[in-house]
Structure 1
């Protein structure tokens, strides 16, 4: 292998290593839809000390564990400006209204990044609540 090719291969390896996901998810709650075909998972995503954690929701197949960001709802506590209660596990909850309808309730102080209206055929509504 020539020196140029070796250098290019090394650079590509380093670039791909920088793409790894260093974040982790901690499940807070899980609720099965009435027909058992889907589950709503509320979880906290933490990407290290410099970013803080965020409350997220994914609609998944039964038993599936969300590995990345929430596919339905993503929020954070606005670097502490939302108050400690808004960053707690009680800041977000998901409840099935029917097999095709989910409601996500979240502390109004959270900073919202994504609220998807439909995930995998499930219609999702969102309700901000006062901090508890």
Structure 2
């Protein structure tokens, strides 16, 4: 069976488009990472970019010390904000994280107040 070059290009193009729709390729760039004062947890602020058709998202997540960073699981995010705003993180105590973010909340679409016993507070700029 002889397949034309055009048929092959069309099939590959459709295959690549389908795979991009099923699982988008996202890039995570760590902007800041700090350990809690007791050394048990790590807070990470990162920028997530999933391509030209979506906005950049700034994300904060906390993980236990000794575990590797991964930005691939949205259920672990404690804060998400669309766009490239000025966001900062700092530990106030071993179980208290403060996230400083813009005062207006139009681009904020996820804020968690407690994560695994740690209290999270938000300080608008």
Q: TM-score, normalised by structure 1?
A: 0.70
Counterpart in the other structure of 1:43: 46
Counterpart in the other structure of 2:71: 67
Does structure 1 residue 112 correspond to structure 2 residue 108? yes
Greater than 4 Å deviation, 4+ residue runs: none
**Cα offsets for 1:2-41 (capped at 9, x unmatched):** xxxxxxxxxxxxxxx5542421210000010011110110
Equivalent residue in structure 1 for 2:26, among 23, 31, 36: 23
Counterpart in the other structure of 1:76: 82
In structure 2, the gaps of 5 or more residues are 1-18
Partners of 1:47 and 1:21 in 2: CA distance: 7
Distance 1:120 1:21, change over 3 A: farther
SS at match of 2:32: strand
In structure 1, the gaps of 5 or more residues are 1-16, 78-86
Q: TM-score, normalised by structure 2?
A: 0.73
Counterpart in the other structure of 2:8: none
Superposition RMSD on alpha carbons, in Å? 2.1
1:71 shift after superposition: 1.4
Structure with larger Rg = 2
SS at match of 2:77: coil
